[in-house]
């Protein structure tokens, strides 16, 4: 899977850093055990047990880093049991998408433990929205299986490191702590050692790994964290993340409570996203001639059949998708990429607004989503999505991230590739 710290996530990090001073930040602490992971550890110690660990997060989790390394640790620490991963990491996405896809991508596979990592990609999100989304993930998980243990993990980037250097969690993690506190969910701040090294002047945030003896000597006692200040090198920064989790596990194994089903009591925020649903796009009314995309043959769809199995492809201006839903929030889950075009979105018969399905990072196709409407009255709403003929200066779009068009034929189409609707509520006839 290609790694991505999208334009949206990068802007979010910058906005989040600027807004940290306006939000009460939580003191940084590597592990807060709270209720621990009692059900997971009891089962792990049982001879012949089969355990599944879910990893829901962004591109830092998608790397072959802390996810792969922690799974290896559990296999070695508990040889009497077997472990399998549920890799539900998608680059450039936050809890606002995670809460809609957690059922399909994780819970349907029966996890015993769920790690949730969205602190970086939620860097500039509204704290109350973060709380609602994270609480929705928790409540959906325990509704599916009250014995599934959950652990929040908070990763770090250079852009978001300011509060950690001063002994505070970044704004997104501080918001997530409210949910963790309310539900007794353990949390691990993976960047404590990263911040310590940075503050001591022993961390290089952004650099290639040294290869030659001369490069290693020039580095001295400094530690190279990441290739881009965001995605840690698997052999350095990701190892620091893994070590933080391993150090924290003893506290989570002997936490306050005996193995017991988790119970979701009164909600922290009654407007949380527990009702989040992912509806296949084929449940909507499609223009004549629209058929499911060829997931195997089409370049834009390769690799996404497991996430959006019902994807369709709009290729002709005027082709449309219409549907009605009862609820308070709606978004479209799709693929953006070189062949992306413009889509007119009409909500409740109002003035259409246009969304563009290619951005400065689209040298390849990737999963994305866009909001149709949010914080709506809890009533029935109508939506129309229509592909436009409007041209796009794709060279100028790519140039914003110093990318260029390699093969003109890849960028020539103006298409739309929706696969699902993200609804806080339900689809109605």
Say whether both 323 and 422 belong to one domain: yes
Say whether both 240 and 291 belong to one domain: no
Say whether both 308 and 377 belong to one domain: yes
The total of structural domains in the chain comes to: 2
The mean of the pLDDT values for the chain is 91
Look at the chain and count its residues: 429
Tokens of 163: 């509060």
What is the per-residue pLDDT for 254?
79
Residue 364 lies in a domain: yes
The answer to whether 59 and 231 are in contact (CB under 8 A) is: yes
What is the per-residue pLDDT for 418?
95
Higher pLDDT, 108 or 1: 108
Say whether both 402 and 347 belong to one domain: yes
What is the per-residue pLDDT for 9?
44
> Is residue 324 very low, low, confident or very high in pLDDT (cuts 50, 70, 90)?
very high
What is the per-residue pLDDT for 8?
43
Given a cut of 80, whether residue 422 has pLDDT beyond it is yes
Q: State pTM to two decimals.
A: 0.91
Residue 361: give its domain's CATH number. Answer: 2.60.120.260
Of 338, 345, 341, nearest to 392 (Cα)? 341
What is the per-residue pLDDT for 11?
46
Tokens of 137: 């993930």
d(Cα 347, Cα 331) in Å, to the nearest integer?
11
Q: Which tens digit of pLDDT belongs to each residue from 126-155?
A: 999 999 999 999 999 999 999 999 999 999
Taking residues 36-55, what's their average pLDDT? 96
Q: Which tens digit of pLDDT belongs to each residue from 79-117?
A: 999 999 999 999 989 999 999 999 999 999 999 999 999
The answer to whether 226 and 205 are in contact (CB under 8 A) is: yes
Of 316, 317, 319, 357, nearest to 340 (Cα)? 357
Say whether both 16 and 138 belong to one domain: yes
Say whether both 86 and 197 belong to one domain: yes
Say whether both 290 and 326 belong to one domain: yes
Q: Which tens digit of pLDDT belongs to each residue from 291-300?
A: 666 555 455 6
Given a cut of 60, whether residue 3 has pLDDT beyond it is no
Residue 119 lies in a domain: yes
d(Cα 314, Cα 292) in Å, to the nearest integer?
10
Given a cut of 90, whether residue 257 has pLDDT beyond it is no
d(Cα 179, Cα 131) in Å, to the nearest integer?
6
| 19 φ/ψ angles, rounded to the nearest 5 degrees | -95, -5
Taking residues 242-268, what's their average pLDDT? 85
Say whether both 165 and 210 belong to one domain: yes
Residue 271 lies in a domain: no
Given a cut of 50, whether residue 180 has pLDDT beyond it is yes
**Pair type for strands 379-387 and 320-336:** antiparallel
Residue 95: give its domain's CATH number. Answer: 3.40.50.1110
Given a cut of 50, whether residue 12 has pLDDT beyond it is no
Whole domain around residue 173: which residue ranges?
7-253
Say whether both 109 and 198 belong to one domain: yes
Say whether both 188 and 290 belong to one domain: no
Residue 14 lies in a domain: yes
Of 360, 368, 357, 352, nearest to 413 (Cα)? 357
d(Cα 123, Cα 16) in Å, to the nearest integer?
5
Residue 258 lies in a domain: no
Q: Which tens digit of pLDDT belongs to each residue from 345-374?
A: 999 999 999 999 999 999 989 999 999 999
Taking residues 200-209, what's their average pLDDT? 96
The region of weakest confidence among 79-93, 160-174, 195-209, 261-275 is 261-275
What is the per-residue pLDDT for 7?
40
Of 354, 349, 337, 350, nearest to 397 (Cα)? 337
> Is residue 263 very low, low, confident or very high in pLDDT (cuts 50, 70, 90)?
confident
Q: In three state form, how does the secondary structure of the chain look?
A: CCCCCCHHHHHHHHHHHHHHHHCCCCECCCEECCCCCHHHHHHHCCCCCEEEEEEEECHHHHCCCHHHHHHHHHHHHCCCCEEEEEEEECCCCCHHHHHHHHHHHCHHHCCCEEEEECCCCCCCCCHHHHHHHHHHHHHHHHHHCCCCEEEEEECCCCCCCHHHHCCECCHHHHHHHHHHHHHCCCEEECCHHHHHHHHCCCEEEECCCCCCHHHHHHHCCCEEEECCCCCECCCCHHHHHHHHHHHHHHHHHCCCCCCCCCCCCCCCCCCCCCCEEEEEHHHCEECCCCCECCCCCCHHHCCCCCCCCCCECECCCCCEEEEEEEEEEEEEEEEECCCECEEEEEECCCCCEEEECCCCCCCCCEEEEEEEECCCCCEEEEEEEEECCCCCCHHHHHHCCCCCCCCHHHHCCCEEEEEEEEEEEEEEC
Judging by beta carbons within 10 Å of its beta carbon (0-12, 13-18, 19+), is residue 386 exposed, middle or buried?
A: buried
Round to the nearest angstrom and report the end-to-end CA distance of the chain.
37
């Amino acid at each position: 899977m290609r790694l991505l710290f999208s334009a949206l996530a990068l802007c979010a990090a910058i906005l989040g850093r600027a807004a940290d001073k306006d939000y009460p930040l939580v003191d940084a602490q590597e592990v807060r055990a709270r209720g621990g992971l009692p059900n997971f550890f009891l089962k792990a110690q049982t001879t012949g047990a089969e355990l599944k660990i879910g990893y829901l997060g962004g591109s830092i989790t998608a790397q072959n880093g802390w996810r792969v390394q922690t799974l290896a640790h559990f296999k070695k620490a508990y040889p009497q049991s077997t472990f399998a991963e549920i890799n539900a990491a998608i680059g450039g996405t936050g809890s606002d998408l995670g809460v809609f896809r957690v059922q399909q991508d994780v819970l349907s596979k029966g996890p015993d433990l769920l790690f949730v990592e969205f602190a970086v990609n939620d860097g500039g999100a509204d704290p109350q929205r973060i709380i609602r989304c994270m609480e929705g993930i928790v409540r959906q998980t325990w509704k599916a299986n009250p014995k599934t243990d959950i652990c929040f993990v908070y990763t770090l980037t250079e852009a978001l490191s300011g509060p950690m250097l001063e002994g505070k969690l970044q704004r997104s993690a501080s918001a997530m702590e409210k949910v963790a506190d309310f539900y007794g969910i353990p949390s691990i701040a993976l960047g404590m050692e990263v911040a310590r090294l940075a503050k001591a002047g022993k961390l290089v945030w952004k650099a290639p790994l040294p290869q030659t003896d001369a490069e290693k000597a020039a580095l001295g006692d400094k530690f190279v964290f990441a290739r881009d200040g965001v995605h840690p090198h698997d052999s350095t920064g990701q190892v620091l993340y893994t070590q933080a989790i391993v150090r924290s596990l003893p506290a989570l194994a002997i936490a306050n409570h005996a193995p017991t089903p988790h119970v979701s009591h009164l909600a922290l925020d009654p407007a949380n996203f527990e009702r989040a649903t992912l509806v296949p796009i084929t449940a909507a009314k499609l223009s004549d001639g629209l058929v499911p995309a060829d997931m195997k043959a089409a370049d834009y769809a390769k690799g996404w059949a497991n996430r959006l199995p019902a994807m369709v492809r709009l290729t002709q201006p005027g082709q449309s998708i219409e549907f009605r839903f009862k609820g308070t929030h709606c978004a479209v889950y799709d693929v953006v990429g070189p062949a992306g075009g413009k889509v007119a979105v009409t909500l409740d018969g109002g003035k259409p607004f246009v969304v563009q399905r290619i951005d400065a990072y689209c040298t390849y196709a990737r999963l994305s989503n866009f909001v149709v409407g949010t914080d709506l009255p809890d009533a029935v709403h109508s939506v129309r999505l229509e592909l436009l003929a409007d041209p796009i200066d794709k060279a100028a779009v790519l140039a914003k991230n110093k990318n260029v068009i390699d093969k003109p034929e890849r960028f020539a189409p103006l298409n739309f590739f929706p696969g699902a609707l993200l609804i806080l509520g339900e689809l109605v006839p």
